[in-house]
Amino acid sequence: MKIDSKKVDEEITKILKVFLDESTLLQPIGEEENLYHLGLNSMKVISLIVELEVYFSIFFEDNELLFENFCNVQKISTQVKRKLNDINNPEKSYIL
């Protein structure tokens, strides 16, 4: 099954907006914009990760739970799409 990249990005943005400061919701979030400057903090990022895992039926390994993997939309999207790709192509998945 092919992953709809645009749909994944849209869903990530919707989920992410729940965890950001209200004042940031009035403008679009740039793909490389630092989410920690928009109100994401260490407690919120844990909740965000859990929400992403539940919504997309994926699981992040402990070694993937790094600050730099969740600091902007582009990096979150890359992580989620990689997980979805691994699920859809188990013969091509590998351990990092």
Q: Where are the domains of the chain?
A: 5-22+29-88
- The pLDDT score that the predictor gives to residue 95 is 44
Instruction: Pick 89 or 75 by higher pLDDT.
Output: 75
CATH architecture of 5-22+29-88: Orthogonal Bundle (1.10)
pTM for the structure as a whole: 0.86
> Which two three-digit tokens encode residue 18?
């729940």
pLDDT-derived band at 1 (thresholds 50, 70, 90) equals: low
11-36 as b/e: b if 16+ CB within 10 A: bbeebbeebbeeebeeeebeeebebe
Which tokens sit at 64? Answer: 């993937």
Report the distance separating Cα 46 and Cα 40, nearest Å: 10
Identify the DSSP state of 24: G
